[in-house]
A = this chain, B = another copy of it.
Amino acid sequence: MVKKEEYARTVAYVLDAFAKAGIILTDAEKGNIEVADFGLSDLDNVGLQLLVYVNTERCCAKEMVLKPYQTCPEHRHMDGVENGVPYVGKEETFRVRRGTCYLYVDGEGKKEDIQARLPNTPVTVFHEIVLHEGEQYTMHPNTNHWFQAGPEGAIVSEFSTKSRDEADVFTDGRIRRIPEVEA
């Protein structure tokens, strides 16, 4: 659970990062920043901040903000069934706007060789893609992935099919994706 003052401090960090990057939000959006600690209560190590611009049945766009060395834990977007209708897992493109993003996906690569710091959550894939400002990478469904910001934090735009966060499958069995902020 994210403590109330940690939430406020983190939202202030996010708004400052957006302002410095020239990313303009409405006042309503500024009040709608999501801070996810994935139920681990270790936000600065494992966590993610998001602003969802749009998420329809067909497509989704959001901005993600990571603090320095903060990690979004390993997960995959599986095919599934919703209201009796089968769907294909989420496809997503990450585009780095500010900072550096170390992204790890299924494929060749050894734990010992990666540039990211090993986070406080289990990770099993180590094929490294380093995304600098202006660079992007498209991930296909059913692929394990995790990512971490470099020393300056990162702002990453995500363009994707529909987001169904509650359907994400995390490697770390402790994780619950339902956002929880102290009342």
Tell me the A residues contacting B by CB distance below 8 Å.
Answer: 21-26, 29, 53-54, 56, 58-61, 88, 91, 93, 95, 97-98, 133-136, 138, 157, 159-161
Contacts and interface: CB of A to CB of B under 8 A. Distances in A.
A154 to B, nearest CB: 12
Given A25-B134, A53-B136, A56-B91, 18 more contacts: A21-B22, A23-B97, A24-B97, A24-B134, A26-B134, A29-B134, A53-B93, A53-B95, A56-B138, A58-B59, A58-B88, A58-B161, A59-B59, A59-B91, A59-B93, A59-B159, A61-B93, A159-B159
Contacts of A157: 61
A22 B136 CA distance: 16
A56 B91 CA distance: 9
A98 B60 CA distance: 21
A95 B134 CA distance: 19
6 contacts: A22-B22, A24-B134, A56-B138, A58-B59, A59-B91, A59-B93
A134 B25 CA distance: 5
A149 B132 CA distance: 31
A79 B39 CA distance: 43
B61 A61 contact: yes
Contacts of A29: 134
Contacts of A136: 53-54
A61 B54 CA distance: 12
Contacts of A133: 24
